[in-house]
Amino acid sequence: MTVSGNVVPLHQPRRDADQAAHGLPPKVLTEWTAWLRERIEPVWRPSEWDRDALLFSGDVDHAGTAVYQCDVAACDALTRTRRGMCATCEKTHRAGSLGLKEFKATYVPDRNRVISGERDDCRVTGCPRDSVLWGLCNAHGSLRHKDLQRDPDSELEAWIERQTPYGPSPACRVTGCRYDARATWGLCGIHQSRWKKATAASRGRRSAPTPAWLDRQAPFLNVHQFSLAPLHPVARLEMLYALQQRDGRSQKIDPVAVRQAVSHLADRVDSVAIAEAERLPSGTQANVDALLRETHRILRSAFDRFEGVDPTSRDVLDLSELGVKSLRGGTTQRPLGLDVRDIRQPWLRQILVTWIFETKPNTTEARRGLRVCEAASRALDARVGGGMNPAKLVFADMNAVVDTFRVLPKLDGGAMSSKQRGALLSFFFKILDYNRAAGHLDGMSASFARHSSHVIKAEEVDEDEAGKALPESVIAQLDDYVDLMGQGMTHGKMTPEQVQAMARAVYELLRDTGRRPYEIAELRTKCLEHADGEWLLIWDNRKGRRLNRRLELEHDTVETIRTWRAVRDTLDLPTGSEGFLFPPAGENGIIRHLVPEQISSMIRKWADSVPVLLSEEFDRNGDRVPFERSLIYPYAFRHSFCQRYADAGVRIEVLRELMDHKSMQTTQRYYKISHKRKREAVNVMRLHTVDRRGKSAPMASATAYEARSVAVPFGNCTEPSNVKAGGKACPIRFQCAACPFYRPDPSYLPVIEDHIRSLKADKEMAVMIEADEFVVRNLDDQITAFKGTVETLRKLMETMGQDERDEVEQASAVLRKVRAVQGNGSVSLPMPGFPGQRGGSTA
């Protein structure tokens, strides 16, 4: 619909509430049923649906039917659960002591006591009557029962051979009933009991069943069957139409759920389409409630189309009707509806609907589109005219919209990052630009458009932000409560003990390997490899499109995987998950392994269940304050893994390999040292600098230490011209151990030792190429001098008290980490900014 200055209201008249509550006029009802008949597929699932008997008999070979063969090898009964057992086998297994796999492989059901779901003739040769018990019809079954009373050891096969067939019995009068009539009114035993129950309140002799009663009776149904006969004639057509619509969207038909839904609707509604949602039954099984709600939604949408109402004009949009896709592909199967009532401007609502209808986004994108259009609507509503006429919008209106996005909060009211706000603003422009390019906004003012100034600038990073890594002390506390993992959670058919074992394995792998949650969820059963005496984890980095990566494992982590695999071997795994370490909760065959959302739920519930969790901070009374539990989530353990290695002094290039990052900058973002910690470390270390002869030469301030740290990678330099040049104007070419301006401290010990090894290698090369003696002598002198520096620093450490030594070692670790991250050996401590000052000087 092209937007113009005069907007036509989107809503068309609907029937009034009284008409909906008290039914429809006969003429409308007749037209409605005719409309349904025209759209119902006459030949639908011919092998399963009997349109004359209104009976559906599910086929185990049809992928769209939730009917399966019992998983017990010797059982031919049916069940509604994939890789499940029939009711009889399930009951027997619970009462026995066999393991699940052994039971399925060895148990042989007693077929003498199971009524088959299929229609078979009596086993007596020539007898056309239906088999009921022992494969015999009712008459021969009664004879066999008497025979067993006389002779308990009588063989069934020999007895059958001696019997004579009976003639055919009349069929039960209930359409579709497979049992023979055996009672006064031409009913089978089941329907005779039902008729007696229906007429129990009547006095005197019962009359024969009426045609109306017979018409609304379902035959005896097995687990793979349902009948629409109990419904009102209009509701029958409606239910059939809804089932065909679901079938067209590849949603499975569960005969048991449909049968229960029919039972709830039979005596309550004559037409599902005109019934109010509040009048539908609820509080039944979750899948039945869901089926009833969706059936009602499908039929209300269909009735709107029958009345000529545009489905895109409703206040709550049906996402499946608009073709919205699910996150897993295909049309969404769980359309919760998109409430567009808060978008006050009709043209804005229309461009959202048009974008959804024509581009077919997934459910997440559709709801994001709703959110950005609601934000734009609020901004325009506050303007003169409320933004109702798109032809009169001006540039200032667009500025107001952008300003709204600049301060947009999260859905829970919390602060949103500038990156997220910028993405939402871009999403709004995406919807607007699509409609303009498609010709749907020909009547809109050209001034209402994006300008180069309409951007949301990135916020400056707070240097004192602690990062996302969990402190090791918090992880140690979590380890003390690892037995609480998985408690109160369910996961498919797994027992509580199995769920706890899986949750514990997932947590320990997150903690010890630093892999992303989805990488843990997708681990294969053969994820361990032993090579060169070491155990390796095989995993896929799908984010970086690098598969079959290797990560060296500690022995405890290997045992974690082995312990879980031993538990996993006892599970009845869902179809398709055989090759994955952690199975999914469902059995739909689409999801074949654990998903990150389930891991998040595990960690969240566990973190909330830990009774006491303390942070590293203290209150004014000196007591440790509680740790913020919202900071405990799966991805935080990846940051903690990185921080753990960084704290141990691992070089950043090695850490990049451990994290499997392409860019060193990505690794640097994973661990942070706050401005406060750097300043404290510098204040400790500046008091322990020495000169080249080992005499104490403390720095006057943290700023002086920072400025002098930029000159050389293995110590501070105080030579003015070299400091000013950032270490690029050394007058003696970095022969620091011989320089009076050299000021090393204990934090430089590792790099000084590395420099000594480098000098030794240079000396060997000089000797090899027969360089002049003065070159070799100079290298020897440098090695000797730097060795003296190392010896001086170590003696300095030995003279310190234990508390002071611990303080210096902690400060050294912080400063070495800072230098590794910054990559140039310096310790950057940004100076505070002042109004009108663009940056501070370090000189």
pLDDT of residue 183: 62
Q: List pLDDT tens digits, range 766-778.
A: 889 888 988 889 8
- What share of the chain in percent tops pLDDT 90? 27
The yes-or-no verdict on residue 106 having pLDDT over 60 is yes
Beta bridge partners, 225, equal 57
pLDDT of residue 315: 78
DSSP-derived letter for residue 711 is: S
Going from the C-alpha of 484 to that of each of 488, 557, 694, the distances in angstroms are 9, 19, 55
pLDDT of residue 6: 37
Indicate the range of 80-89, 491-500, 514-523, 807-816 predicted with least confidence: 807-816
pLDDT of residue 21: 37
11 falls in which pLDDT band (50, 70, 90)? very low
Region 585-604 average pLDDT: 82
DSSP readout, 778-835?
A: HHHHHHHHHHHHHHHHHHHHHTS-HHHHHHHHHHHHHHHHHHHHHSSS----PPPP-T
User: In the structure encoding, which two tokens stand for residue 748, read together?
Assistant: 């430089």
Indicate the range of 242-256, 535-549, 578-592, 770-784 predicted with least confidence: 578-592
On the 0-12 / 13-18 / 19+ scale of CB atoms within 10 A, 479 is: exposed
Q: List pLDDT tens digits, range 419-438.
A: 889 999 999 999 999 999 99
Indicate the range of 168-182, 292-306, 373-387, 681-695 predicted with least confidence: 681-695
pLDDT of residue 94: 87
831 falls in which pLDDT band (50, 70, 90)? very low
The yes-or-no verdict on residue 465 having pLDDT over 80 is no
pLDDT of residue 590: 67
Query: Are the C-beta atoms of 434 and 357 separated by less than 8 Å?
Result: no
DSSP readout, 71-121?
A: SSTT---EESSTT---HHHHHHHHHS---HHHHHHH----GGG---SS--B
pLDDT greater at residue 710 or residue 616 = 616
Indicate the range of 235-249, 270-284, 595-609 predicted with least confidence: 270-284
pLDDT of residue 467: 54
The yes-or-no verdict on residue 641 having pLDDT over 50 is yes
Q: Hey, how many other C-beta atoms are within 10 angstroms of the C-beta on 1?
A: 15
pLDDT of residue 360: 85
Rama region for 507: left / alpha / beta (φ>0; ψ in -120 to 50; rest): alpha
Q: List pLDDT tens digits, range 34-70.
A: 999 999 999 999 999 999 999 999 998 898 899 999 9
Beta bridge partners, 136, equal 133
The yes-or-no verdict on residue 19 having pLDDT over 50 is no
The yes-or-no verdict on residue 511 having pLDDT over 70 is yes
Distance, CA of 404 to chain centre: 30
Q: List pLDDT tens digits, range 336-366.
A: 578 888 999 999 999 999 998 888 888 888 8
Tell me the domains of the chain and their CATH numbers. Answer: 17-59+224-309 (no CATH), 316-437 (no CATH), 472-631 (1.10.443.10), 675-822 (no CATH)
837 falls in which pLDDT band (50, 70, 90)? very low
203 falls in which pLDDT band (50, 70, 90)? low
Closest to 10 measured CA to CA, from 310, 318, 342: 310
The four Cα atoms 467, 473, 479, 485 give a dihedral, to 10 degrees, of -40
pLDDT of residue 335: 47
Q: List pLDDT tens digits, range 799-825.
A: 888 888 888 887 877 777 676 655 544
